[in-house]
Structure 1
Amino acid sequence: MDNRVLQEYLEKHSFPVVVKLKKKYLTYEGLQDRYVYILKDGIIKTSVISRDGREFNLRYINELEIVSLLKDEYSQITDAPFNIRVESDEAELYKIDRVQFWRDVNQSADLQGYVKDYYRFCLVHSMKKMQQMLMNGKFGAVCTQIYELYDTFGVKTEDGYLIDFVVTNEEIAHFCGISSASSVNRMMQQLKDMDAIEMCNRKILIKDLEVIKDNIIF
C-alpha cells in the first residue's frame, strides 16, 4: 500500500500527535471515539476480545498507516472496532477529528483512492489470514504467524532472517486462536528440531524460510 498520499496529506496539516507508552491502550473495542488515528512512529498491536473473554490478536503495525477502521462518514462518534495497544517503548499517533477527515477525503480524489486501497488491503489481509488459519491446522497457523512476523519485522542476516522484535509464545498463541502458550512452545520446539528456527536474545531467527513456507497453504 503506497503511503505517499497519506504522508502528503499529513504534511499539509498540523494535526495533534499523541504519545502512548508501552502496553498502554489507545482505544478499546466498543468504546466510543470521535477520532481517526494514524500511526506516525512505533509499533502497535490490534486485537479483539471473544465472548468468552479471550484475546485474539489481529496485526502488528509498524509503519505509517491508519490504525482505526473508519466506518461511516456521517457519525461524529463511533464505536472502536478493536483494541489498539502500544508494543514499542512508545508510539506516536496523529489524532484527527473523524468528521474533518471524511470532509478532507471527499474533497480529494487522491485521498479517496488511498482510503479505497486501505479498505481493500484490510479486507484481503483478513480473508487471507482466515484462510490460512482454517486450512493449515495449529502447526500451520503458527508457521503462518511466523511468516507474517518475518514479513513485518524480518531483517536479513548471515544466518537467515531475524524477526527484530520480541514476540512471546503467548502472543503467537493469541494470533493463532490457540488457548495455551504451552501448545505453541511444543510447536516452536518442533521447528527448532527441524532446524528451521532458533532463538537469539529472545528473538526468533528463521534459519530456513522454506520449511516455514512448506507448512503454509498460501
Structure 2
Amino acid sequence: MDSKVLSDYLNDHSFPVIVKGKKKYLIYEGLQDKHVYILKSGVIKTSVISKDGREFNIEYINGLEIVSLLKDEYSQFIDAPFNIRVESEKAELYRIDRVEFWKHINSNFDLQNYVKDYYRIRLLHSMKKMQQMLMNGKFGAVCTQIYELYDMFGVEVEGKGILIDFIVTNEEIAKFCGIASASSVNRMMQQLKEMGAIEVKNRHIWIKNLEIIKENIIF
C-alpha cells in the first residue's frame, strides 16, 4: 500500500488524535463504535476471543495504518470485529467519524485504491496466517511468529545477530499460535536455543541463525 496517500489525506484534514497508554484497549470485540482509527505512532495488537473464552492474537501493527475495519459505509455504529490493545508505552491514533471517512473515500480516487489495497492485503495476510497455522504444526507456528517479529521489529547488530527490538512474552507468542499454554512455548523456545537459532537476553529475543527458523516454516 502507498502510505503517502493516507499521509496526504490526514495532512489535509484536522482529525483529532487520541493517546492511549500501554495495555489500554482502544475497542473491544462486539462493542459498538462509530469511528475509524488510524495508527499514527506506537504499536498495537489485534485479537479475538474464542467461544471458550481464550484470546487469539491476530497481529501487531506499527506505523501509519488503518487499524479498524471499515465495514459498510452507511451504518453510523458498527460492532467492533476484534479487540485493539496498545502494546508500546503509548500509541497515538487519529479518530475519524466512519460515515465521514466513507464520504471522503467515495470522492477521492487515490484513497479508494488505498482502501482496496488495504482489504486485499488484510485478506492475504489472514489466508497466509491460516495456512501456516494448519501446515506448520505447533513448532512451525512458533517459528512463523518469530519470523514475523523479525520482519516487523528485527534490527541487525553487527557481530551479535538480529535483535527483536520489542519485548514479546511466551504467553503472547502462544496466543498468536493457538497454543493453550505458555509452558509449551517455553519448551519450543528452549529447543530453538539448543539448535542455535535464538538466544533470550534481558527479555529480548536475539536471532542467531535465521535459516534455522526458516527451515521450520512452510511459506
TM-score normalized by the length of structure 1: 0.99
Q: Name the SS for the 2:81 alignment partner.
A: coil
Please state how far the C-alpha of 1:157 moved relative to its aligned partner.
1.0
The yes-or-no answer on 1:144 pairing with 2:144 is: yes
* Structure 2 residue aligned with 1:197: 198
CA distance in structure 1 between the aligned counterparts of 2:174 and 2:73, rounded to whole angstroms: 35
The yes-or-no answer on 1:209 pairing with 2:206 is: no
Instruction: Structure 2 unaligned segments of length 5 or more: list them.
Output: none
Please state how far the C-alpha of 1:202 moved relative to its aligned partner.
0.6
Q: Residue 56 of structure 1 aligns to which amino acid in structure 2?
A: F
The yes-or-no answer on 1:39 pairing with 2:55 is: no
How far does the alpha carbon of each residue in 1:2-31 deviate from its partner, in whole angstroms, 9 at most, with x for none? 211000000000000010000000000011
Q: How many residues are treated as equivalent by the alignment?
A: 218
How far does the alpha carbon of each residue in 1:127-169 deviate from its partner, in whole angstroms, 9 at most, with x for none? 0000001000000000000000001101111222111000000
CA distance in structure 2 between the aligned counterparts of 1:135 and 1:101, rounded to whole angstroms: 39
The yes-or-no answer on 1:27 pairing with 2:27 is: yes
Q: Name the SS for the 2:184 alignment partner.
A: helix
* Structure 1 residue aligned with 2:181: 180
The yes-or-no answer on 1:127 pairing with 2:146 is: no
* Structure 1 residue aligned with 2:12: 12
Please state how far the C-alpha of 1:200 moved relative to its aligned partner.
2.0
How far does the alpha carbon of each residue in 1:49-106 deviate from its partner, in whole angstroms, 9 at most, with x for none? 0000000000001110000011111111101010000001110000000000000000
* Deviates further, 184-193 or 153-162: 153-162
Counterparts of 1:85-100 in structure 2, within 5 Å, are 85-100=85-100
Q: Residue 77 of structure 2 aligns to which amino acid in structure 1?
A: I
Q: Name the SS for the 2:123 alignment partner.
A: helix
CA distance in structure 1 between the aligned counterparts of 2:217 and 2:67, rounded to whole angstroms: 27
Q: Which stretches of structure 1, 4 residues or more, deviate above 3 A after TM superposition?
A: none
TM-score normalized by the length of structure 2: 0.99
Q: Percent identity?
A: 77
Tell me how large the CA RMSD over aligned residues is.
0.5
CA distance in structure 2 between the aligned counterparts of 1:61 and 1:12, rounded to whole angstroms: 24
